[in-house]
Every structure is written in structure tokens, then in C-alpha cells.
């Protein structure tokens, strides 16, 4: 993985088809309800969020991010609840060969927080969450630099 600051894109066709990990930078313009398993009134407030995921199957990072960045889709993963909200913007950064748990640890160390235990990480026994909140005071360049810090 490169040690350069991550370049975010809104165009999934610019992402590699290689296996690895990816980060989605999500801007929610308004409150977003969460899947029912988190409670009947569970929601995230408007703000900036970071989702760290893995793409090991066919089509790799490009295929997974193409799905995540599509506005019209079946709600399959926790992050889909955010990416289908009207007015939401999503940018992606690839980490070929990367690990989503390592990226999560770096984002948390840079100041991101886990707003809801298990959110985005229902299949991960190691992480509190893979969907993180980025406080308004947190510089996105610092987060990008932390993510690109190496595996």
C-alpha cells in the first residue's frame, strides 16, 4: 500500500479492480435512520462519516464501491442506509491489498469515533464498528494521511 495521502474520487470506474480494502467518505445532509436491529428509533445525525470495508471478490474494490456509490439499490449492508439517503455524497479511496480493520484502527487513532457499536462491522469480531463518525473539527487531510500510513 502506498504511503501517500489518499486521493478520494466520486467515480468508482477510476478505482482498481484489485482485491483489498477501501474507505468511503460519506456526507449526510440530514438525520439518517439506521437498520431496525439497532433499535426502533436509532439514527445518525447529519455529518461526516467514514466506512471502511473490504473487497476480496470478483471485480475487487471497483465493483464493491460501484455498488456502494449507487443511490438506488437494495439495502444489504449497514452502510447502504446512509448511501441511499437523498442528498448524501460519497467519495471512495482504494487500498489494494489493504485490511479494513487496520484502516479502522488508523482512523480511530486520527480522531474518528465509533457512534454505534457494531455499525458496519456485524461480521467483524475485532472492531467496535467499521462505520465511524468524523467530528467537524477533524481535518480530513489528517484522516487521509493516517489511512495511507501503511499496512
Tens digits of residue pLDDT in 89-101: 999 999 999 999 9
pTM given for the model: 0.92
The answer to whether the CB of 12 falls within 8 A of the CB of 69 is yes
Residue 11: per-residue pLDDT: 94
* 113 pLDDT higher than 70: yes
First to last CA, the chain: 7
The answer to whether the CB of 133 falls within 8 A of the CB of 47 is yes
Provide the 3-class DSSP secondary structure of residue 109. helix
Using pLDDT thresholds of 50, 70 and 90, give the confidence band for residue 3. Answer: very low
Q: Torsions phi, psi of 149, nearest 5?
A: -65, -5
Provide the 3-class DSSP secondary structure of residue 22. strand
Residue 36: per-residue pLDDT: 87
- Average pLDDT, integer, range 74-97: 94
* 127 pLDDT higher than 70: yes
* 16 pLDDT higher than 80: yes
The answer to whether the CB of 12 falls within 8 A of the CB of 83 is no
Strands, sheet with 131-134, edge to edge from the N-terminal-most edge strand:
89-96, 20-28, 47-55, 131-134
Residues near 52 by beta carbon (within 8 Å), at least 6 away in sequence: 21, 22, 23, 24, 100, 101, 103, 104, 107, 120, 130, 132
Using pLDDT thresholds of 50, 70 and 90, give the confidence band for residue 116. Answer: very high
Amino acid at each position: 500500500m502506498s504511503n501517500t495521502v489518499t486521493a478520494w474520487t466520486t467515480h468508482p470506474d477510476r478505482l482498481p479492480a484489485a482485491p483489498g480494502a477501501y474507505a468511503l467518505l460519506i456526507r449526510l445532509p440530514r438525520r439518517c435512520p439506521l437498520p431496525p436491529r439497532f433499535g426502533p428509533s436509532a439514527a445518525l445525525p447529519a455529518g461526516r462519516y467514514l466506512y471502511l470495508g473490504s473487497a476480496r471478490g470478483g471485480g475487487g474494490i471497483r465493483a464493491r464501491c460501484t455498488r456502494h456509490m449507487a443511490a438506488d439499490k437494495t439495502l444489504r449492508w449497514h452502510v447502504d442506509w446512509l448511501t441511499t439517503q437523498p442528498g448524501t455524497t460519497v467519495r471512495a479511496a482504494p487500498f489494494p491489498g489493504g485490511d479494513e480493520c487496520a484502516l479502522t484502527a488508523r482512523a480511530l487513532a486520527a480522531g474518528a469515533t465509533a457512534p454505534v457499536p457494531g455499525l458496519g462491522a456485524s461480521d467483524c469480531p475485532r472492531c467496535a464498528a467499521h462505520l465511524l463518525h468524523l467530528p467537524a473539527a477533524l481535518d480530513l487531510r489528517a484522516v487521509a494521511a493516517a489511512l495511507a500510513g501503511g499496512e
